């Protein structure tokens, strides 16, 4: 059987997962069927490794997951970090110092452990209580500077953007930054804070496209990417068939060639069944 495409890259939140952050049995079956036909299926998410693993527990993938918006590629089943981009000690020092001197709260991720400082804002305090395994340290000097894959800064909606812009202006050269409202994450729709994830220099989720090309010899024109938010744009622009979810942002719809149904209606499953001629499960 001739396949229309050889690889599929999938965003998680707002794409593969429903509004509860779950991947349905139908969707799991479709991805398993594609892999059975020899299609490479790659998860591409902004989440940390541990968070991504929990979201797709019980699922098998025949390509490593893109985590941290491209800073890490990881085999989730084996917990094998295939690639890991980290800040230099000087970069981490400068970013931590800049955010600590601002009005923002911050998280520092080192080898998938999340560190933070005492809360400045109520939503950060709530987040620390909700998230598993956050290590709160008393002073900026106690935060890690080595093996750091991400620094996240957050603050109340109105005030945060100005402070984030100041950090971006002074320290954004060469790093990969994504700003987003935290309420787009399943389970956090009541939050009003703005977040900014800062990763070491990388091509965003397009690192997954590069990996599939270099490791498996797949032409990007033979790849499909499906997403819904701005952090998906790099991989959407890099593949032959960029697909927007019906619930995607205007920026994503602008670069997409096709549209999949809403993520809460098993849109990925329905779209891929049609594209690859799979029976509806």
**Radius of gyration for the alpha carbons in the chain, expressed in angstroms and rounded:** 19
pLDDT of residue 1: 67
Q: What is the mean pLDDT of residues 92-120?
A: 96
* Residue 152 and residue 251 in one domain: no
* Residue 274 pLDDT > 80: yes
In a domain, 2, yes or no: no
Q: Is 74 in the same domain as 210?
A: yes
Higher confidence at residue 280 or residue 81? 81
Tell which residue, 231, 215, 232, 222, has the closest CA to residue 275: 222
Helix (H) and strand (E) counts for the chain? 9, 14
Provide the greatest CA pair distance for the chain. 60
Q: What single-letter DSSP state applies at residue 249?
A: -
pLDDT of 189 reads 82
User: For residue 157, is pLDDT > 80?
Assistant: no
Residue 159 has pLDDT above 80, yes or no: no
Residue 246 CB: number of other CB atoms within 10 A?
Answer: 15
pLDDT digits (tens, 9 = 90+) for 171-215: 888 899 998 888 888 888 889 899 999 999 999 999 999 999 999
Q: Residue 31 maps to which CATH number?
A: 3.40.50.1000
Kindly provide the residue ranges of all beta strands, DSSP E only, lying in 186-280, ordered along the sequence. 194-199, 223-227, 241-245, 258-260
33 and 116 in a single domain? The answer is: no
- Report whether pLDDT(262) > 80: yes
pLDDT of 280: 84
Percent of the chain with pLDDT over 90: 86
Do the beta carbons of residue 186 and residue 20 sit within 8 Å? yes
Number of domains in the chain: 2
| Domain assignment present for 1 | no
Query: Comparing 54-63, 66-75, 133-142, 154-163, which segment has the lowest mean pLDDT?
Result: 154-163
Same domain, 55 and 16: yes
**131 and 190 share a domain?**
yes
Residue 221 domain flag: yes
The DSSP symbol for 61 reads: -
SS (H, E, C) 188-257: CCCCCCEEEEEECCCCCCHHHHHHHHHHHCCCHHHEEEEECCHHHHHHHHHCCEEEEECCCCHHHHHHCC
For 236, other C-beta atoms within 10 Å of its C-beta total 27
Q: Assess whether 65 and 159 both reside in one domain.
A: no
The verdict on 37 and 168 lying in the same domain is: no
* Structural domain boundaries enclosing 149: 89-199
Residues 266 and 175 in one domain: no
19-57 pLDDT, tens digit each = 999 999 999 999 999 999 999 999 999 999 999 999 999
Contact 69, 205 (CB under 8 A): yes
Specify whether 179 is located in the same domain as 104: yes
For the record, the structure tokens of 239 come out as 């593949």
Same domain, yes or no, for 32 and 110? no
């Amino acid at each position: 059987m001739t396949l229309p495409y050889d690889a599929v890259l999938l965003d998680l939140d707002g794409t593969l997962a429903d509004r509860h952050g779950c991947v349905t049995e139908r969707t799991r079956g479709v991805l398993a069927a594609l892999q059975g036909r020899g299609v490479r299926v790659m998860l591409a998410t902004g989440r940390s490794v541990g968070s991504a693993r929990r979201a797709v527990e019980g699922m098998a993938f025949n390509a490593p997951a893109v985590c941290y918006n491209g800073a890490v590629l990881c085999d989730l089943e084996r917990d094998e970090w295939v690639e890991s981009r980290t800040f230099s000690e000087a970069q981490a020092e400068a970013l931590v110092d800049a955010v600590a001197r601002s009005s923002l709260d911050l998280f520092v991720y080192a080898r998938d452990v999340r560190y933070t400082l005492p809360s400045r804002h109520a939503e950060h305090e709530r987040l620390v209580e909700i998230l598993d395994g956050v290590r709160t340290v008393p002073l900026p000097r106690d935060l890690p500077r080595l093996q750091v894959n991400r620094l996240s800064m957050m603050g109340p909606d109105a005030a945060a953007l100005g402070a984030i812009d100041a950090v971006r202006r002074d320290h954004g050269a060469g790093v990969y930054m994504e700003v987003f409202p935290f309420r787009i994450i399943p389970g956090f729709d009541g939050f009003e804070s703005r977040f900014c994830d800062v990763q070491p220099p990388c091509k965003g989720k397009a690192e997954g496209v590069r990996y599939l090309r270099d490791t498996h010899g797949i032409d990007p024109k033979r790849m499909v990417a499906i997403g819904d938010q701005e952090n998906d744009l790099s991989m959407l622009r890099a593949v032959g068939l960029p697909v927007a979810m019906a619930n995607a942002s205007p920026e994503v719809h602008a670069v997409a060639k096709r549209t999949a149904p809403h993520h809460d209606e098993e849109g990925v499953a329905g779209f891929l069944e049609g594209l690859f001629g799979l029976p509806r499960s």
